[in-house]
Structure 1
Amino acid sequence: MSKNANLFSLIEANFPTDLSAPCLKMPQGTGFINEYSWDDLQKASAKIANLLTSLELPKGSRIAVQVEKSPEALILYLATLRAGFIFIPLNTAYQTAEMRYFIQDAQPAVVVCSPKNFGWLAQLAFQLGCSHVFTLDDKLPNQGSLLQRAAPLSSQFQTVQCEPDQIASIIYTSGTTGLSKGAMLSHQNLSANALTLQKTWHWQASDVLLHSLPLFHVHGLFISSNVALISGSTMIFLPKFDAAQVLKFLPESTVFMGVPTYYVRLLEQAGLTEQLCSTVRVFISGSAPLLAETFNAFQQRTAKTILERYGMSETNIISSNPYDGERLSNTVGQALPDVRIRIVNNEGQTCAEDEVGDIQVKGPNVFKGYWNRPEKTTQEFTKDGFFKTGDLGKLDKNAYLSIIGRSKDLIISGGYNIYPKEIELVLDALPGVVESAVIGLPHADFGEAVCAVLVCNMTLDSAQIIATLKNQIANFKVPKKIFMVKELPRNNMGKVQKNVLRDQYKESFSLLTS
């Protein structure tokens, strides 16, 4: 039998010799509770893998998961890998309409949700043909129907044999038109990227990762967790980002990863000092552009230079500023060793040094395509196999990549990808709204803030519109400001000129002090 390409096999092969060593530490009060050893991780994931296998699901079945962050949620991810099924993490902020779409599109055989959402989500899932719905409680360890059903099962499980191209996870990513697309990531995609990052960032078994990212996001699930797991490293597992709590545990950590918003919040803390950060060998930032002022302020306060990198849901990490070497503000570093980056113009010709063009990438980290969208997949790849990222950038003389903007209107706010069309459809359906344009505006905290420009045929209250939207879409998609205009700017072809709107309102958050 050929070597098992299952990502869990790679993780398990790098477990420390002492399986009683801590893998996950859950902080509470002045110390740690609920420490999970590597032995706990292995046995608990085996029990859940046995449960999933007992359901006699077809090969390639999808397991859709919308639960709060917890050690058990991470274990469920590992169990899904072990059992050879496809893991689909979903943002915990998604509401009914969004969940209906994802379940219809992915057709999962199993849905796992928080107990508080079981009533409406189970009804929705069963209506759409899902066979099994379980609950997983982040507040009470070992509670919820998933763990209760798994508890009596064997703590031994033979990891399912997988081929390198077998799909391990589907990540729903955003576009500027249409609906979310499921990016299919194989076991090889995830393994290759984790191994490359382990080497690039000099990761060791002795490292301690302070993990405060959500698990439904590529950043928190694949980039952070996978690299720590294949290194046999301990993770201090915070349920969410809390600046004061992060400061508390930084002295016990060697690695911290975050989105730019996290670093802005940390800089607001008087306790952030050079001495406090002395044990942390690397601070890493991604998922959204890091402002130069944040980069410089953090360096001055802590004597640590943030390592910025570039990635996408479809590719994991593409490039990184060097671990050993100059880390430059406003760049995302050089291509990873096994990744090729090229910048091309509208004619598909390679751009000259420092010339702006479309960023295209190729490598073992690049996804296999979009779920059930072969035409879209073909459209997004060049004939010679490069993925069109949709981002604009340039390479300098040292092959450092700078992201200039996006050829599409994707908004990245606080590390979350947001596509305007979905929000516009909700706004346009409101009484009194004639048309809308949703844009992202520069924001010191979130990178970009979602804002809406409306044309109305009656007087509407912005606060009321925002309150209405909060009941219909995830909170991170709700506009932070709404502007009323008589008409939207258009070009000769009748297309709304969002670039004009972005320029017109670009100073809207310039006086923000937070």
Structure 2
Amino acid sequence: MGLVGNIRARWNASPDTPVLHWEQAWWSRARLLERSRQAAGFLQAQDLGPGDVVGLQAHRGPDFLAVFLGALGSGVTVLLLNGAYTPREVGFLAEDADARLVIAQPAVLDALRAAEPCALLSADDLAQRLDAARGAPIDGDPQGPTISLEAVGALGYTSGTTGRPKGAVIRHRNIQGTVESLHTAWGWSTADVLVHALPLFHIHGLFVAMLGSLWAGARTVLLPRFSASAVSRSIQEHQGTVFMGVPTFYHRLLAQPEPPELPSMRLWTSGSAPLPAPVWESFRDRFGCEILERYGMTEVGIVLSNPLKADRVPGTVGFALPGVHAFVVDRDSGVPLPDGEVGELRISSPGLITHYLGLPEKTAESISVDTTGRRWMRTGDLACRRADGRFSIVGRMGDMVISGGLNVYPREIETVLLDVPGVDEVAVVGVPDPDWGERVVALVVADGPVDAAELLRHARSHLAGFKVPKEVRFADALPRNSMGKVQKHRIRTAWPMP
């Protein structure tokens, strides 16, 4: 069986058990499976079969999940499309993935019709089309298709901020490997209630959160969007036990005027971007819970995690999960470095993809095979390992600043500046400089009285001189993508030249 059949096999034939809460009502397992069969029937009626690709930019809700499960349950591959993608972006990805059908937001659809890259359906019309569809057997049904774990389940495209987006070919076994590992590491059980506010088009929200809950036979309260008050109310109303977020979510939960009482919660996790240590500490002090940070990427799944029951250390992403091999190496030679030294993080994991779609050269650049046949991902992330085996992510290799011939790691400087009262967020980048090659600069978001002179004094007292920013500017907000990651390339591009 494939991923969908294996999820169903864990449900112990309890069809009436609630599985998904949406718009004030619970969906049972049986209802979600029947909707998934309707989605599979709809896709078959559009002449999509095993190996074909459907682009999914549907509205948030049960039908998004039903199309995903119905597609994987019938051997169809899902091209995950960010809801904020423009017609140009959707058109490029649909063509690159050779999609047979794209379910798109209405504004995107209107612009795509002229090019007609493939069959198109408005997300507004999806519910009606599923209502009218004849259900088809899916993976795990007596007359269902035989789906292999080697089948391609999803295509997840990298952001493409530094070049052409790359399509990660994600097989059923890659997804299942991540879900199984986290099930054990994070102590999932049928008693859990996940309060879900992450995007469904992203690996974090779909694989780690939603499929993690389905694999456990747990219940998920799916919110229309994130708001701190809605999350707090839902946790209280449904006795939520698990919440997964990005750092921005935790900033906003802390900004609530009165901290709500949330005694049912057992696990808060943060990922997709670094969580500043002051936020971790403030959350612990205010809510009495330590956020669990972890590390992963589209190409490898979730591979590092702070422990569930032992100490969680802010600023670290914990240890390698079972089945994962992780090393910090010299980025040029590939030789493993001693603990405490900064180098590139290399990963081998059950979630490691086989290749990028149609890009053998990029695949060869990113994925290597050692003499034992083990495959390794060159993550492009700078990391160091502590003596106790914990890993810390220092930054992206492309974010490292070389100023006057010396390596400067922005994360170290950001951590120091965040200690200054009145600093809410900070991003450090390198910009071109005729004398230094690159000079270190900082963009700061303040939530209290603070000035550049004070920040520089603090930096000089805590950092070597070559690490101290040459310039500090202030902004109302840092530029971010839809997952909350700071877009440092935009800061570099917009920074005024001297």
TM-score, normalised relative to structure 1: 0.77
What is the CA distance between 1:189 and its match in structure 2?
0.4
In structure 2, what is the Cα distance between the partners aligned to 1:309 and 1:84?
31
**Do the aligned partners of 1:342 and 1:361 also contact (CA within 8 Å) in 2?**
yes
What is the CA distance between 1:102 and its match in structure 2?
1.2
Amino acid at match of 1:334: F
Verify: 1:238 aligned to 2:203, yes or no: no
Q: Helix, strand or coil for the counterpart of 1:408?
A: helix
Q: Which runs of 5+ in 2 are unaligned?
A: 401-409, 444-467, 479-498
Q: Helix, strand or coil for the counterpart of 2:368?
A: coil
Q: 2:85: which partner in 1? A: 94
**Do the aligned partners of 1:354 and 1:396 also contact (CA within 8 Å) in 2?**
yes
Q: 1:377: which partner in 2? A: 363
Verify: 1:247 aligned to 2:212, yes or no: no
Verify: 1:271 aligned to 2:262, yes or no: no
In structure 1, what is the Cα distance between the partners aligned to 2:355 and 2:425?
28
- Pick closer, same or farther for the CA change 1:363–1:281 going to 2, 3 Å: same
Q: 2:63: which partner in 1? A: 72
Amino acid at match of 2:253: L
In structure 2, what is the Cα distance between the partners aligned to 1:239 and 1:369?
34
In structure 2, what is the Cα distance between the partners aligned to 1:40 and 1:447?
44
**Do the aligned partners of 2:228 and 2:256 also contact (CA within 8 Å) in 1?**
yes
What is the CA distance between 1:308 and its match in structure 2?
0.3
In structure 1, what is the Cα distance between the partners aligned to 2:114 and 2:127?
17
Verify: 1:10 aligned to 2:1, yes or no: no
Q: 1:320: which partner in 2? A: 305
Amino acid at match of 2:135: S
**Do the aligned partners of 2:367 and 2:377 also contact (CA within 8 Å) in 1?**
yes
Residue 334 of structure 2: which of 341, 348, 366 is its match?
348
Amino acid at match of 1:318: V
In structure 2, what is the Cα distance between the partners aligned to 1:511 and 1:393?
30
What is the CA distance between 1:315 and its match in structure 2?
1.3
**Do the aligned partners of 1:247 and 1:272 also contact (CA within 8 Å) in 2?**
no
Amino acid at match of 1:10: N
Amino acid at match of 2:255: E
RMSD over aligned Cα, in angstroms? 2.8
Residue 392 of structure 1: which of 360, 382, 385 is its match?
382
Deviations 1:309-351 (A, max 9, x none): 0011111201000001010000000001110001111321111
In structure 2, what is the Cα distance between the partners aligned to 1:52 and 1:231?
27
Deviations 1:434-456 (A, max 9, x none): xxxxx999698997769998xxx
- Pick closer, same or farther for the CA change 1:83–1:303 going to 2, 3 Å: same
In structure 2, what is the Cα distance between the partners aligned to 1:408 and 1:13?
44
Amino acid at match of 2:129: Q
TM-score, normalised relative to structure 2: 0.79
Q: 1:193: which partner in 2? A: 178
Q: Helix, strand or coil for the counterpart of 1:301?
A: helix
Amino acid at match of 2:339: E
Amino acid at match of 1:262: F
- Pick closer, same or farther for the CA change 1:59–1:334 going to 2, 3 Å: same
Q: 2:397: which partner in 1? A: 407
In structure 2, what is the Cα distance between the partners aligned to 1:171 and 1:448?
29
In structure 2, what is the Cα distance between the partners aligned to 1:268 and 1:9?
42
Q: Helix, strand or coil for the counterpart of 1:97?
A: helix
Which shifted more, 319-328 or 245-254? 245-254
- Pick closer, same or farther for the CA change 1:163–1:447 going to 2, 3 Å: farther
Verify: 1:48 aligned to 2:44, yes or no: no
- Pick closer, same or farther for the CA change 1:75–1:507 going to 2, 3 Å: farther
In structure 2, what is the Cα distance between the partners aligned to 1:235 and 1:43?
18
Q: 1:434: which partner in 2? A: none
In structure 1, what is the Cα distance between the partners aligned to 2:83 and 2:47?
28
**Do the aligned partners of 2:440 and 2:470 also contact (CA within 8 Å) in 1?**
no
- Pick closer, same or farther for the CA change 1:247–1:359 going to 2, 3 Å: same
Please list, as runs of the form range in 1=range in 2, the aligned pairs for 1:157-306 lying within 5 A after superposition.
157=138, 158-175=143-160, 177-251=162-236, 252-273=239-260, 276-306=261-291
- Pick closer, same or farther for the CA change 1:294–1:146 going to 2, 3 Å: same
Verify: 1:19 aligned to 2:15, yes or no: yes
Q: Percent identity at matched positions?
A: 32
- Pick closer, same or farther for the CA change 1:160–1:17 going to 2, 3 Å: closer
Q: Helix, strand or coil for the counterpart of 1:8?
A: helix
**Do the aligned partners of 2:292 and 2:308 also contact (CA within 8 Å) in 1?**
yes
What is the CA distance between 1:160 and its match in structure 2?
3.0
What is the CA distance between 1:149 and its match in structure 2?
5.1
Amino acid at match of 1:286: G
- Pick closer, same or farther for the CA change 1:7–1:147 going to 2, 3 Å: farther
- Pick closer, same or farther for the CA change 1:348–1:364 going to 2, 3 Å: same
- Pick closer, same or farther for the CA change 1:391–1:263 going to 2, 3 Å: same
Amino acid at match of 1:364: P
Q: Helix, strand or coil for the counterpart of 1:367?
A: coil
Verify: 1:153 aligned to 2:138, yes or no: no
Q: Helix, strand or coil for the counterpart of 1:386?
A: strand
Amino acid at match of 1:258: G
In structure 2, what is the Cα distance between the partners aligned to 1:278 and 1:507?
41
In structure 2, what is the Cα distance between the partners aligned to 1:75 and 1:185?
19
- Pick closer, same or farther for the CA change 1:45–1:447 going to 2, 3 Å: farther
Deviations 1:166-225 (A, max 9, x none): 211010113553211111111000001101100100000110000000111111011001
**Do the aligned partners of 1:307 and 1:327 also contact (CA within 8 Å) in 2?**
yes
Return the structure number with greater relative CO, CA threshold 8 A, min gap 6.
Answer: 1
What is the CA distance between 1:11 and its match in structure 2?
1.4
**Do the aligned partners of 2:50 and 2:76 also contact (CA within 8 Å) in 1?**
yes
Q: Helix, strand or coil for the counterpart of 1:382?
A: strand
Q: Helix, strand or coil for the counterpart of 1:39?
A: helix
Aligned length: 427
Q: Helix, strand or coil for the counterpart of 2:388?
A: coil
Q: Helix, strand or coil for the counterpart of 2:191?
A: coil
Deviations 1:275-329 (A, max 9, x none): x221000100000000000000000001100000001111120100000101000
